[in-house]
Amino acid sequence: MSVLIITHTQDNESIELVSQAIERRGEMAIRFDTDRFPTEVQLDILYSGDVEKLLLLQDGQQFDLARVSGVWYRRLNVGGKIPAQMDEQFRYASIQESRATLFGLITSLRAFHLDSIPVIRRVENKQLQLRVAREIGLDTPRTLITNQPAAVKEFARTCATGTIAKMMASFAIYDDRGQEQVVFTNRLSDADLENLDGLKFCPMTFQELLPKQVELRVTIVGKQVFCAAVDSQKLDNAKLDWRKEGIALIDAWYPYPLPSDVEAKLLQFMEYFGLNYGAIDIIVTVDGRYVFLEVNPVGEFFWLELYAGLPISKAIADLLCR
């Protein structure tokens, strides 16, 4: 048996953790760095009569992907090493054709997928996540998504503890020096409420600010649930969004006993989407509510294994090989 891991060269420790766990089972882990395709890695795909050939050629090795039994769609950066100085139109065409080729290959593999691309794309819809979570009975924050300033002002007026602003899609902006600036969750100030003209160009998401005890990351693999907590309130810059101090808090995470009723609802949520893997963010409020924020179907987990001791990579390897 062999497992194909779809990733790129800049991915983190997660790949090695899972690869080693797969190899400890006596199976083969095949790493496919998509930023090396098509410039450094070749695909040879043939359909002819009764013949079906799906070959991956990289670093002097040849892998028969038709024999792959498991696929872990982890990260994607197709054409990342196509020269930037290439004619813009040709470069775009190259990336698009390479992406279509790769997606076609992944989708056509007769193997267990953790998870399939169509499932991942559907789950990434955060409005759908909130709707399903509410229907299942999970607690969710009051949420407004709008491009209408008057609606924001009325919503903020009803949020006694304050209002936060966040983006529906995760992305970064870049300064004049090309340095990445991640868009985090921020509190809406009185001055912000008087400066909402930008909404006519871009809608935003607004939620009630929930005073926190701790923040949870719940990682679900198949039917296994791993939960860790961090006290984000001990650092001023992390109180609204722990990711602002992600490095400072990386070793502060610890295993956390998730209430059985919350765990059952999260498993029901995963089953609704047909998800085998999900990284779920939850707030435990000062009054003891467990509030669901969102699920990332390809979310990170490595620091929870390295610092909180949760055996997530083994669970992923077991599921991929099973």
For 44-81, what is each residue's pLDDT tens digit? Answer: 999 999 999 999 999 999 999 999 999 999 999 999 99
Q: Does the residue 317 lie in any domain? A: no
CATH number for the domain spanning 81: value is 3.40.50
CATH number for the domain spanning 297: value is 3.30.470.20
Does 7 share its domain with 79? yes
In this prediction, residue 248 carries a pLDDT of 84
CATH number for the domain spanning 164: value is 3.30.1490
Q: What does the H/E/C string look like for 211-255?
A: CEEEEEEEEEECCEEEEEEECHHHCHHHCCCHHHHCCCCCCCCEE
In this prediction, residue 168 carries a pLDDT of 80
Does 215 share its domain with 302? yes
* pLDDT tens profile 278-309: 999 999 999 999 999 999 999 999 999 999 99
Q: Does the residue 168 lie in any domain? A: yes
Residue ranges making up the domain that contains 242: 121-127+131-138+211-309
Whole-Å CA distances, 16 to 9, 13, 80, 208, 217: 12, 5, 21, 39, 21
Gyration radius (Cα) of the chain, Å: 22
Q: How many degrees, rounded to 5, is the angle at CA 24 between CA 255 and CA 53? A: 115
Residues of the chain with pLDDT > 70, as a percent, come to 96
Which of 208, 230, 260 is where one domain is finished?
208
Q: Does the residue 32 lie in any domain? A: yes
Specify the DSSP element, H or E, that contains 264: helix 260-273
In this prediction, residue 246 carries a pLDDT of 84
Does 161 share its domain with 198? yes
Q: Does the residue 16 lie in any domain? A: yes
Does 13 share its domain with 107? yes
Check pLDDT > 60 for residue 262: yes
Which three-class secondary structure state does DSSP give residue 293?
strand
Which of 175, 208, 241 is where one domain is finished?
208
At position 192, the amino acid (one-letter code) is D
Q: How much of the chain is in helix, strand and coil states, percent to nearest 5?
A: 35, 30, 35
Q: Does the residue 23 lie in any domain? A: yes
| Burial per residue of 35-69, b for 16 or more beta-carbon CB atoms within 10 angstroms, e otherwise | bbbbeebebeeeeeeeeeebebebeeeebebeebb
Does 193 share its domain with 248? no
Per the prediction, the chain carries an average pLDDT of: 94
In this prediction, residue 169 carries a pLDDT of 77
In this prediction, residue 295 carries a pLDDT of 97
Q: Does the residue 322 lie in any domain? A: no
Distance of CA 132 to the CA centre of its chain: 18
In this prediction, residue 175 carries a pLDDT of 61
Half-sphere exposure of 91 (CA within 13 A, CB side): 10
CB–CB of 259/139 below 8 Å? no
Half-sphere exposure of 158 (CA within 13 A, CB side): 10
Q: Does the residue 150 lie in any domain? A: yes
In this prediction, residue 48 carries a pLDDT of 96
Task: Determine the Cα–Cα distance for residues 191 and 189; give it in Å rounded to an integer.
Answer: 5
Mean pLDDT, residues 273-278 taken together: 98
CB–CB of 134/140 below 8 Å? yes
Q: Does the residue 54 lie in any domain? A: yes
Does 200 share its domain with 216? no
Residue 238 vs residue 310, higher pLDDT = 310
φ and ψ of 304, to 5 deg: -70, -30
At position 278, the amino acid (one-letter code) is G
* pLDDT tens profile 247-256: 888 999 999 9
Structure tokens belonging to residue 136 = 């299942």
Structure tokens belonging to residue 269 = 């949520």
Task: Determine the Cα–Cα distance for residues 283 and 279; give it in Å rounded to an integer.
Answer: 14
Does 225 share its domain with 195? no
CB–CB of 313/18 below 8 Å? yes
Which of 192, 208, 224 is where one domain is finished?
208
Does 184 share its domain with 228? no
Mean pLDDT, residues 110-121 taken together: 96
Check pLDDT > 60 for residue 180: no
Does 53 share its domain with 153? no
Does 11 share its domain with 43? yes
Task: Determine the Cα–Cα distance for residues 248 and 56; give it in Å rounded to an integer.
Answer: 40
Does 174 share its domain with 103? no
Check pLDDT > 80 for residue 173: no
Check pLDDT > 70 for residue 167: yes
How many domains does the chain fold into? Answer: 3
